[in-house]
């Protein structure tokens, strides 16, 4: 791995724990103004010092994160469909590599839709993005998206999707936690980061973080379970305590304190 690539990777997966906490705020690219992310700067502001990296689009980066912030950026560079459109898998690259470099991104992220109508298009886009990213020393995070077909999130499917992403050259893969998640991690030769998913009770979200890292995940990319919580700062700190300091679920829950 060349110096630039390695240096960028180290901003996302921190060398001390070999894990990272990514704060996901890219939902608007296909979901519009998601609850609690209506005014992105107000959501991001209190949380930005507690994450290792921020996953977002260039639009939210430019408008809602001060350039003086030192937070490493994972720039979403794919899109082209929405929750009200015909087919969520119909994505392509929407932000070029020169722009990602200009915005001082530490990685670029795109979705692949294995088994969906536009599987081929998204996989070929991943290959091309990796070619461009390698030339720029820019890590690529492939997101194994399932669109509205949440039932796809089992170990067999996710192992397939993660492995394909790694074979195409992704440097990291973001996927979902599932029953038997160890199998997904074992068969993927690059670090796996776990997406949070829809809001659930805090203990449940922290259990997901604990069992993801126990299975070998290199961290989490969590959004709604942090910023839709009544106490987002306490919640991201609790997530960090598991990811970086190996706190138990009970310890992390206790650290939340009394409900807001």
> Rounded to 5 degrees, what are φ and ψ at 201?
-55, 150
Residue nearest to ligand R5P (CB): 196
Annotated catalytic residue, options 148, 152, 174, 199:
174
User: Where on the chain is the footprint of ligand R5P (CB under 6 A)?
Assistant: 24, 26-27, 55, 143, 195-197, 221-225
Rounded least distance, CB 2 to ligand R5P, Å: 27
Rounded least distance, CB 83 to ligand R5P, Å: 11
Annotation says 152 is catalytic: no
Contact 241, 234 (CB under 8 A): no
27 or 244: CB nearest ligand R5P = 27
DSSP 19: B
215 or 222: CB nearest ligand R5P = 222
Rounded least distance, CB 35 to ligand R5P, Å: 11
Rounded least distance, CB 51 to ligand R5P, Å: 12
Written as six digits, the tokens of 106 are: 């530490």
1 or 83: CB nearest ligand R5P = 83
- The residue assigned the tokens 């991104």 is 105
Of 181, 114, 191, 182, the closest CA to residue 152 belongs to 114
Rounded least distance, CB 3 to ligand R5P, Å: 28
137 or 203: CB nearest ligand R5P = 203
Q: What's the rounded Cα separation, in Å, for the pair 110 and 197?
A: 17
DSSP 14: B
Contact 244, 14 (CB under 8 A): yes
Of 223, 257, 211, the closest CA to residue 238 belongs to 257
Q: What's the rounded Cα separation, in Å, for the pair 156 and 20?
A: 25
End-to-end, the C-alpha distance of the chain in Å comes to 45
Q: What's the rounded Cα separation, in Å, for the pair 238 and 69?
A: 22
155 or 200: CB nearest ligand R5P = 200
Sequence-distant (≥ 6) Cβ neighbours of residue 212 within 8 angstroms: 177, 181, 194, 220
Residues annotated as part of the active site: 174
């Amino acid at each position: 791995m060349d110096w630039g690539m390695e240096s960028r990777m180290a901003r996302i997966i921190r060398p001390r724990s070999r894990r990272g906490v990514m704060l996901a705020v890219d939902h608007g690219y296909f979901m519009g103004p998601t609850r609690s992310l209506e005014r992105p700067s107000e959501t991001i502001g209190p949380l930005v010092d507690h994450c290792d990296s921020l996953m977002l689009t260039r639009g939210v980066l430019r408008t809602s994160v001060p350039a003086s912030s030192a937070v490493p950026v994972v720039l979403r560079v794919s899109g082209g469909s929405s929750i009200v459109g015909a087919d969520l898998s119909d994505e392509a690259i929407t932000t070029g590599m020169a722009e990602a470099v200009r915005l001082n991104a530490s990685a670029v992220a795109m979705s692949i839709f294995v088994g969906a109508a536009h599987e081929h298009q998204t996989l070929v886009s991943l290959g091309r993005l990796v070619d461009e990213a390698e030339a720029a020393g820019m890590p690529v995070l492939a997101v194994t998206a399932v669109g509205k077909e949440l039932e796809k999130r089992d170990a067999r499917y996710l192992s397939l999707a993660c492995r394909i992403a790694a074979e195409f050259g992704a440097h990291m893969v973001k996927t979902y936690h599932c029953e038997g998640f160890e199998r997904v991690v074992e068969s993927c030769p690059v670090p796996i980061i776990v997406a949070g998913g829809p809001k659930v009770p805090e203990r449940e979200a922290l259990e997901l973080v604990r069992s993801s890292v126990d299975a070998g995940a290199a961290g989490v990319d969590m959004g709604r379970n942090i910023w839709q919580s009544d106490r987002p700062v306490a919640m991201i700190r609790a997530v960090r305590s598991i990811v970086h300091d190996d706190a138990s679920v009970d310890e992390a829950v206790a650290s939340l304190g009394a409900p807001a």
